A and B are shown apart, each in its own frame.
Chain A
């Protein structure tokens, strides 16, 4: 059985090696930069930087569902009838929208470590515990993203008329089904532009995790810049890579928007 899994892993990694846009057989660095500082392998920085792109993209993609789900529940809490729930949701958004992302990340990275350490010591486990930079980045960026996301979703909720809920109840759907079948599809359509902006902000905020040592685009290009003394070229490359990521996501988002509007009347 384990041989089967290793075969799958090997096949996937071989496939990824072929379609790798940077260092694969038809990768950008392999085709155009094989004799420069950006060559792949031990000769240049191509594979390191390609790994950085992977880390940045996977951090942003891993944070997105967490932030979206949390933001959705906070938006629900903000319009609940229960004052305590509303108040606690408002405190959450005030804090995470008011703090600088860099400060949030620093506090989460070091604070979480201390908290977990104290907690483990309290239940009788004494050893060095290290929170991974990836996890800390995910928590901090997810918190910031969910705070902004709840605002976007809350204003989208306001755009959906009361009659839509009432129609759902009149059809005999209970609250959850009404939300799922009637409100959510419209909510997505209204909230998509705002969520697209938030995704762009998230993508840019991931650059901050380079400060806590995660090997993302900026960290990898920074190391290359320090070693080769070609700072302008490498930081320029970092800018270019972020632009490419932003460009790809804008294409994806315009496709999602088209998909969400497929049932709307053509205007």
Chain B
């Protein structure tokens, strides 16, 4: 009769089989190397070209440019959102005239580049200065900032109207019928049943629209508004330092990434009741 007197000491797990060196691994390492080299290059460019004098001179300009960009986008998104409501409802209405008119509005502003719309308002309406003066509207159209704001508001209103319409129409018909069967009035049905479901669908496109507007707002630099891009161009034209564009790129990337992550968080937070 024998019993086990000693335990087998714990053994190390067998060694992992060697990973084959595939083409994917090779290209992955090459591309990571390229990105790393680019990052180091950009870093060295900033470090080597560092000039406290320039930074003190143009740093505040960048901040004010950033403020201009954010203000322009914020105001035009808000005003555009307000303007998009009547357009979306006109588009969904059974009246052929209003539905056709808003469809034409949306088609025009979504089918043409924002830059062309901006030029049409700033230079195009600017050529009617005599008529605008007699109407007392010249003070508005004289300023590039106002024209940019108007163009962006009209543009984003068209996009937001489509987002809103798509979201409202994505709510299934049964929701309307269910509310009607409960005897809810049309208004209560809309605000308490349809809209909450539609806005969840619309959340992601709204976030994309804000990001698109922030990126699109860079073009106002062409009509002499000193936003972030405008300040960058000004700084570059005075210093001929490639750093200026790198700083702008970093700031834009930072804003867009912040916004994207904020929106992803909002999305998971607001749809947590839909998770199974």
Contact = CB atoms under 8 A, between A and B. Distances in A.
Interface stretch (B25-33, B173-181, B191-199, B268-276): B25-33
Given A218-B115, A231-B127, A232-B127, A83 B257 contact: no
Interface string B101-137: 0000001101111111101100111111000000000
Contact of A204 (B113, B232, B242, B256): B113
Given A84-B29, A99-B215, A102-B218, A242 B112 contact: yes
A264 interface: no
Secondary structure at the A interface, as helix, strand, loop or mixed, is helix
Nearest to B114: A204
Contacts of A255: none
Given A88-B35, A231-B123, A102 B219 contact: yes
Interface stretch (A14-22, A125-133, A187-195, A222-230): A222-230
B144 interface: no
A82 B24 contact: yes
Interface string B211-241: 0001111110110000001001000000000
A170 interface: no
B35 A205 contact: no
Contact of B116 (A82, A107, A230, A239): A239
A235 B249 CA distance: 30
A87 B114 CA distance: 33
B171 interface: no
Contacts of B108: 239, 243
A106 B116 contact: no
The interface centre, meaning the residue of A99, A246, A247 with most chain B CB atoms within 10 A of its CB, is A99
A6 B6 CA distance: 95
A242 B108 CA distance: 9
A218 B216 contact: no
Interface in A42-81: 77, 80-81
A98 interface: yes
A225 B232 CA distance: 28
Contacts of A110: 242, 245
B25 A236 contact: no
A200 B119 CA distance: 20
B113 A205 contact: yes
Contact of B127 (A98, A204, A229): A229
Contacts of B32: 84, 87-88
A94 B257 contact: yes
A95 to B, nearest CB: 7
Interface of A: 77, 80-89, 91, 94-95, 97-103, 106-107, 110-111, 114, 200, 204-208, 210-211, 218, 222, 225, 229-232, 235-236, 238-239, 242-243, 246-247
Given A77-B27, A84-B29, A101-B215, 12 more contacts: A82-B22, A82-B24, A84-B32, A85-B24, A85-B25, A91-B35, A95-B253, A110-B242, A225-B124, A232-B127, A243-B111, A246-B111
9 contacts: A101-B215, A103-B252, A204-B114, A222-B119, A222-B123, A236-B124, A238-B119, A242-B112, A242-B113
Closest A-B pairs by Cβ, 9 of them: A84-B28, A85-B28, A88-B31, A207-B113, A232-B124, A100-B218, A98-B256, A246-B111, A100-B215
